[in-house]
Chain A
């Protein structure tokens, strides 16, 4: 056995002997399903039934859950926006500012959610590099937009309390969609669960952040970063570190 000349051509792997070549034959007689679950040492031809009591939702049930999650999330955001109101100075803002602060986060939120839910070519999601890049780019783009697009109106310096109020509100607005999608996506990600969950969290955060930008009249950069952008990052982190445990298959 000699060293391969071209590591990209993986045919050389076949030089290694298969030590369990016949193992499946013996294994199949050891593990079969029974009516109450999976049992060992039964006959290979025993009638197999799925485990009872832990039934996962079917596709039809999941479609219903998805519609419910989207509708309730929109209703949740819409209700809050209706109660708190749209910012009074919206008509005074230039279109580029509105696009950067409200339109772009909304589009990136949709894109993040689409990528997170996409089955990809093999049914295991989009490539890890893409999900990782987008999970990072979402919150960053939100924060960068604050600094890259200068305030179009005279800045009124807000208090720390006002920063905190917006932070709290954005977190609350984001939390319900995140919970709803976590319920819908339970055990959905066999691979890349961390990044895909971060995308889901970031998407909910971006959605809530854009809604907050639509509500809050402040154009102060520090306020927008602390009150509006930080929750997007928190959503991404919570998604990637906590919700991913729930979403991993």
Chain B
């Protein structure tokens, strides 16, 4: 599986998801520090650096395209309201993911706005090199991605979020455990079960039965 290029977070057009970029996250952390101290001009850097990652995270969690954008906006609103509580010198990425997760859970729990499952359009799935490669390999990659998405949709949110944070958002086990408010052992077990479900789905072309419940 090819890794996406790491070209810096603050350039909004070239954010790589699923891998930690130490220099990019350090810039974001400093921007958040300035923002927490009342420097509103740091918001632009934060927004361009975190916005795409949050949208992608929320989509992977199961939000549909429009909902992911709405929830990302709500996440920034909450970050804005909570900025003074951001601890100096700490990493903003897990902090933002934790807030985004709260937004997602609040939204998913509300009876009025029940989260529509992210039925990812085929057009929405972008496989690296898919447009430049031949049609057959692109088609195979697309089918594989659809299988992964179906397996993710079918598993419990607890497993899905553990897997997404570790595999796609590139958090450490410790950071993922903190974001999810659980222990490192529990995160490993959840991610392992998620991996197993996806592996079986990819191997056999089957997906587990949906067992959708939202847990914090």
Are the CB atoms of B85 and A21 closer together than 8 Å?
no
Return the CB mask of A43-54 against B: 1 if under 8 Å, else 0.
010011111001
| Contact residues in A for B44 (Cβ distance below 8 Å) | 33, 47-49
Contacting residues, chain B, for A192 (C-beta < 8 A): 181
Give Cα A187–Cα B191 distance, bound, in whole angstroms: 29
User: With an 8 A cutoff between CB atoms, is A4 at the interface?
Assistant: yes
Interface residues on A, range: 35 or more
The complex places the Cα of A55 from the Cα of B78 at a distance, in Å, of 10
Q: Which of B82, B125, B178, B192 contacts A7 (CB 8 A)?
A: B192
Chain B contact residues: helix, strand, loop or mixed: helix
Q: How many residues of B contact A (CB 8 A)?
A: 85
Give CA–CA (A58, B180) in the complex, Å.
Answer: 26
Interface centre among B37, B43, B52, B128 (most CB of A within 10 A): B52
B195 contacts A24, C-beta separation under 8 Å: no
Is the Cβ of B76 less than 8 Å from the Cβ of A51?
yes
Assembled-state Cα–Cα distance A38/B91 (Å): 23
Binary interface encoding of chain A residues 20-36 relative to chain B, with 1 for a CB under 8 A from any of its CBs, else 0: 11111111111111000
**Cβ contact within 8 Å between A28 and B99:** no
For B75-94 the 0/1 string (1 means CB < 8 A from A) is 01111111111111011001
B157, CB-defined interface residue at 8 Å: no
- B120 touches A (CB below 8 Å): yes
Set of chain A residues within 8 Å of B94, measured between Cβ atoms: 122-124
| Contacts A32-B51, A49-B40 given; does A56 touch B82 at CB 8 Å | yes
Closest to A12 in B: B195
Contact between A21 and B36, CB atoms less than 8 A apart: no
Asked if B126 and A249 sit within 8 Å, CB to CB, the answer is no
Least distance between B6 CB and chain A CB atoms (Å):
12
B69→A30 contact, CB < 8 A: yes
Known: A123-B87, A123-B95. A44 touches B13 (CB 8 A): yes
Q: B residues engaging A (CB < 8 A)?
A: 1, 4, 12-18, 35-38, 40, 43-44, 47-48, 51-53, 55-56, 59-60, 68-69, 72-73, 76-88, 90-91, 94-95, 98-99, 102, 120, 124-128, 141, 144-146, 148-149, 163, 166-168, 173-175, 177-183, 188-189, 191-192, 195-196, 198-199, 202-203
